Structures are given as C-alpha cells and as structure tokens.
Structure 1
C-alpha cells in the first residue's frame, strides 16, 4: 500500500516532504544547480530551495547515502566533484552494463509510445533553438525511460544511476569554454533498432553513444579552467603523522 502524500487535513505528510526534498536536491545536483565540488549546508538548502530544516537534512542525507555528497566536519556536505577519474569510471561501468539493453522487450504500449516519440524526434533533430533542444532532450530521456522499463529491474536501477552521473558530467562540461552542447546524433538509429527488436544494433548504438560522450568530455575538459582534483585514492590516502615519521627516523 502506498504511503499517503497528504494527511487527512490536506497538509503534506512529513515523509512526502522528505521525498520531495530528496528528489529536488538530486535534480539540483544532476543539473549542476548545486555545483560539483561545492560545500553546502542545511541552511543553504533551506534558503535556495524553500525546504524545511528537516527536509533539507533528509535530502542531504540521501545524497550522502547514494554517494553524491560526503559530510564534512563543521562545514557541511561536499558535493561529489567531477574529475577525470570519475568520468572514466562512469564510462567504464556503462560499457559493462549497457549491453544488457540489447535484451530489452518493449510492451505493446511502450512500442506505440516510442513510435510517437520517433516522429517528434525527427521533427526536432538538428534544431538549435533553446526550446527545441530542451524538447529534444525531454523525449530522449523518455526513450531512456522506456528502455529501463523493459529490462531487468536491478540492471535498470544501476544504469539509471550511471546515466544520472553522465547527465551531470554533460551539464557541467557544457558550461565551460565555448559552452558547446552535446548532441545525441545516434538517437534515430537507436530508436529504429529498438523498434526492429535488433539487440545487436541496440548494443552498437549505445557503444557509439559512449564513444561520442567520451570524445565530448575530453574536448571540453581541455577547454576548462577548473583545476582537476585528485582521484578518490589520493584523497583517501592519509598523510604520515609526526609520530609515524619519528618512528621511521628512530
């Protein structure tokens, strides 16, 4: 049984507020409203997103639980930076997981919806107006959603998070240098492969997408003035303490 969104008096239930905060902050992280590497506090989130303190705490805790942020003593929460190591890890993980999309089986309703989306995508393809780009990306996201609905739910959950990471990296790197946008040039071929039920073609188009994103990420990184941060391994390696140093010299 689903939990109620409102109480009997019509006021949003506390758990509904918490869920809203969690979704809102995740969306803000993915769209880089909260920038990679930024340190935020509960008070920041209350001011910026109109949340209660309890909701802000719940949202930040969820980001921490899902690996999007880490608590910092006395300062707040550090949002996961975008690093070269992170980009490589995300792309490598997608190369392992995305071949499962070749086994997807669309329901009749999903196939009918995809046919409708294909006609809209065709009309929007290649247009550069802001509204057209936003609409194009909305429908591409819906195609991704239809694919995730049609595969093993555990694999789908893993892929959804990887795609969230890829989306955040894309949004972040689109904002550097000449602010060039990333375009899904393979999307029409992917849609046709899905409609044809051609698993091998689906895998091929997804691999082409990963290669195109990798090229875009590298090109934009070379235009970025943002200092690259060390990978998690370097950050996690403790520096020798004075006592350790003294023991070595003894």
Structure 2
C-alpha cells in the first residue's frame, strides 16, 4: 500500500491547542480571590469594623460578578468576619470585649509555643531572617502601613520556623479573627514598644533560649492587649 501523502496543513490537535490557550479564572478561584481581598481590606482598615457591606457593593469594588461574592460571603460569615444583623444586614464583625480577651489569650498561648519551638528547631538562616525583619522596622519608624506589613512578616516567620504544621494551622485560623482588630501601631507609642519587644524575642531566639523566647513572645502579646484595652477605655 502506498504511503499517505499530506495534501494540506493538518489541524492542530485540539487538546494541545486547548493547553496553549490561557484559562479563564474559575468561579472557585474568584471566590477565593474575593475572600482574601475582603480579609485584607478589613486588616488594613479599608473596610471598617461595624461597616455595612452588600453583595452588590463588593462585586462593584472588586470588579467581579455577584456569584463569587455570594460564595465568598458564606466563607466570611463562617469565619466570623461578617455578621448578619437584623435590620442592618451584613456588617464587618465588631468583637466584644470578652471575645477580644479570649482571642488574645489563645494568641499568647500559641505564639509563645511558636517562639519556644522556633528557638529549638529553626535553622540558622531562619533565625537570621527573623532578625533582619525586626531590624528593618527602624527604617520605617513613621510609616505605619509598612510597619504593619513588617509586623505581619515577623510573626509569620516565627510560626514557619517552629516547624509544626498543626500550630501553623491553628495560628492561621486565629489570624483570620485577629484581622478584625485594628492595628495599634499608629496609636500612642505602641510602634516603639512593639519594636523593642520584637528585639527581645529575637535576642532569645538567636541564643536558642526556648524559655526566654516563649516568655518574650507571651509578654509581647500581653503588652498588645493591655495597650488595646487602655485605648478602648480612652475612646469610650
């Protein structure tokens, strides 16, 4: 049998062609994106505690359809970041005094444990990275937005350096609720105090003194709670 001859260009393989085309973002991806954008907006104070939000407003804000926003709202309510109040609708959750105290109690326990484990298990490179993050605060003394990002990186790096996946998961969930509490760094002398407390944690970590690292981390959280409570009394 004579071999077949090509009489024209063969169409591209459809599967190959599909792989070469960029994929549109799925509904699930959009939901996750909206979820994280709302969380970030709350953390940065763009969305204020107690502020009313609507499905339509969030869709317009983030340039998406209402379907992923609706699905993101379900997740945000489940995480306690949004609350559906009678006659008001959805609002950014306003934590009570008792909820705040309970939240800080758990943060002290978990971050203290993270610092202890980091002192024991972190690599030298991880400890140097934590120290460099803390040192970078000095260059942004009056830039409270940047200090907030540095503060977040500092605590995240300690948790990663603890090398405990269950602790990482627990603190990740806790940080979701912590985003409901406005940053204190621009209030009074909290930024300077927090920086000094970070340096105390770093000193203990570099010395691989697990007792001192946990104590310094716990003191840092207690100091933050005390500062917040005093401000709340003053603002009341």
- Quick check: TM above 0.5? yes
Distance 1:44 1:66, change over 3 A: same
Aligned match for 1:35, one of 32, 39, 48: 48
Aligned match for 1:159, one of 167, 171, 183: 171
| Structure-1 separation of matches of 2:150 and 2:84 | 35
Deviation at 1:167, TM superposition (A): 4.8
Q: Larger deviation: 121-130 or 42-51?
A: 121-130
Q: Does 2:190 match 1:182?
A: yes
* Local SS of the residue matching 1:125: helix
Residue 213 of structure 2 corresponds to: 202
What TM-score do you get using the length of structure 1 for normalisation?
0.72
Deviation at 1:159, TM superposition (A): 1.9
| Structure-2 separation of matches of 1:136 and 1:160 | 20
Gaps of 5+ in 1: 1-5, 226-250
Structure with more relative contact order (C-alpha pairs < 8 Å, separation 6 or more): 2
Q: Does 2:72 match 1:25?
A: no
Gaps of 5+ in 2: 1-18
Larger gyration radius, structure 1 or structure 2: 2
Distance 1:136 1:79, change over 3 A: closer
Q: Does 2:111 match 1:98?
A: yes
8 Å Cα contact 1:21-1:58 kept in structure 2: no
Aligned match for 2:58, one of 34, 37, 45: 45
**Aligned-pair Cα RMSD in Å:** 2.9
Q: Does 2:95 match 1:82?
A: yes
8 Å Cα contact 2:43-2:182 kept in structure 1: no
Residue 154 of structure 2 corresponds to: 143
| Structure-2 separation of matches of 1:72 and 1:127 | 39
Deviation at 1:56, TM superposition (A): 1.3
Distance 1:166 1:113, change over 3 A: same
Residue 3 of structure 1 corresponds to: none
Distance 1:166 1:115, change over 3 A: same
Residue 13 of structure 1 corresponds to: 26
Q: Larger deviation: 116-125 or 27-36?
A: 116-125
